[in-house]
Amino acid sequence: MQLGLVGLGKMGFNMRERMREGGHEVIGYDPRPEVTDVPTLAALAEALTAPRVVWVMVPSGPVTHDTIAALAVELGAGDMVIDGGNSRYAEDGPHAKLLGEKGIAFIDAGVSGGIWGLKEGYGLMVGGSDADVERAMPIFDTLRPPGPREDGFVHAGPVGAGHFAKMVHNGVEYALMTAYGEGYELLAAEDLVKDPQAVYQAWTNGTVVRSWLQQLLAKALKEDPKFTQISGYTEDSGEGRWTVEEAIRLRVPVPSIAAALFARFLSRQDDSPTMKAVAALRNQFGGHAVQRISKSG
């Protein structure tokens, strides 16, 4: 299948490679000349054969909106746009309407997998009509992990449902990372425990708390046993805030997710071993930047 891909950053670049390895023809566009296949969005649209499919993988917010608005000009009836970034679900309806006025289909796709997705596959949560999702299924099947489709892909509902599901996914992720970080801090505080990393390593098999995030924390601790090379300052990229805001709107209690969000705010005031663990985890699974501690202190 032929596909246009806008945005060749940490995830987009690897997604292009995975889809090409899966036999798809992928033409990528990115403002950086060293990674792009075509010089402009117009050139991307021209290089694709109608009916065209373009996957947008750019930062959420104004950049996504501007990109979709530009594609509404360059594409035409029968084409399709997939927003695979971390857009807020409330933005999907307006984007679908903007594109729909020109007969362009729209799918919102929540994507999880970070920098490991090239090898392991990406967890996908999509929103859109049955017909549109079925049309794009060869792409989804290549990107998702191997195995039964339902174990790595979900058609969550109509437009907006995919990004809503991804928002909740990231809220849960916040809570899990903070719990693992707190466990590390408690182990490190007790003199009886000689090697907190060894404990986390032992938890990777046979325990009820084992998970990919837990394995990544064991890996991070092995690389930097006391997290001496990073500060605990931890950003929040939006989805955790949105999850708490939607929980308030829907009157659903999410105390663990809310606490994890506020812990990130706290990390910007006082250095914390727990938040160092969270920062290290974000770097391990997603390649997110960490703030290094300077040699001068």
Out of 173, 182, 239, 246, pick the active-site residue. Answer: 173
194 noted as active-site residue = no
Instruction: Round to whole Å and give the CA distance between 293 and 42.
Output: 43
Instruction: Round to whole Å and give the CA distance between 69 and 56.
Output: 12
The beta strands (E) that lie in the chain are given as: 2-6, 25-29, 53-56, 80-83, 105-112, 123-127, 153-157
Which H helix or E strand runs over 169?
helix 161-189
Q: What are phi and psi of 9, to 5 degrees?
A: -85, -150
Which H helix or E strand runs over 96?
helix 92-100
273 vs 141, 181, 279, CA distance in Å? 39, 7, 10
Instruction: Round to whole Å and give the CA distance between 57 and 86.
Output: 9
Which residues are CB-neighbours of 207 under 8 A, at least 6 positions away? none
Out of 74, 166, 182, 239, pick the active-site residue. Answer: 166
DSSP state of 125: E
Instruction: Round to whole Å and give the CA distance between 153 and 149.
Output: 6
Q: What is the DSSP string of 214-278?
A: HHHHHHHHHHSTT-TTB-------SHHHHHHHHHHHHT---HHHHHHHHHHHHHTTS--HHHHHH
46 noted as active-site residue = no
Please give the positions annotated as active site: 166, 173
